[in-house]
């Protein structure tokens, strides 16, 4: 199941507050849950970690596939879910796709979880 990109805010709200500071609206909870659902899979969480920690801020899909005992199409599916959740972006260069994290989305998740 792929997350609906339209349900995830494209840019973080400058007033994002912690979930402990104020209750989330039903709409906000639903859109945020889609992001957490994307992160709830261990492969996707590891992919995001590899992408986010890569030198130069991006990584080729060819470097990601060797990190897992999964087929290329399976890795591509997981990357598609992360991209649909608004956590990463990709750019095709020749035959390869290079992925990079979307810092604003990661900052928003971080802000929500601050005590």
Domain boundaries, the chain: 25-113
The stretch 48-70 carries a mean pLDDT of: 95
CATH code matching the domain that covers 25-113, chosen among 3.40.80.10, 3.90.110.10, 1.10.10.10, 1.10.3720.10? 1.10.10.10
Average the pLDDT over 5-20 and give the result. Answer: 54
Which residue, among 36, 41, 13, 33, has the nearest Cα to 107 in the 3D structure? 13
Q: For 50-61, what is the mean pLDDT?
A: 95
| DSSP 8-state secondary structure symbol assigned to residue 6 | G
Q: Is residue 86 within 8 Å of residue 35, measured between CB atoms?
A: yes
User: How far is Cα 5 from Cα 39, in angstroms, rounded to an integer?
Assistant: 14
pTM of the model: 0.81
Would you say residue 3 has pLDDT above 90? no
Handedness of CA 45, 76, 109, 52 (dihedral sign): positive
pLDDT in tens, 15-43: 577 888 888 889 988 988 999 999 999 99
CA distances from 113 to 12, 17, 52, 101, 108 (A): 14, 9, 18, 19, 9
């Amino acid at each position: 199941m792929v997350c609906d990109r339209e349900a995830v805010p494209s840019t973080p709200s400058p007033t994002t507050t912690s979930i402990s500071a104020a209750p989330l609206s039903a709409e906000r909870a639903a859109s945020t849950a889609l992001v957490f659902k994307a992160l709830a899979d261990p492969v996707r969480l590891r992919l995001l970690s590899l992408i986010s920690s890569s030198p130069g801020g991006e990584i080729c899909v060819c470097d990601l596939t060797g990190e897992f005992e999964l087929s290329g199409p399976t890795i591509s599916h997981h990357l598609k879910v992360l991209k649909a959740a608004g956590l990463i972006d990709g750019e095709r260069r020749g035959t390869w796709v290079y992925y990079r994290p979307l810092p604003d989305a990661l900052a928003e998740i971080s802000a929500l979880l601050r005590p």
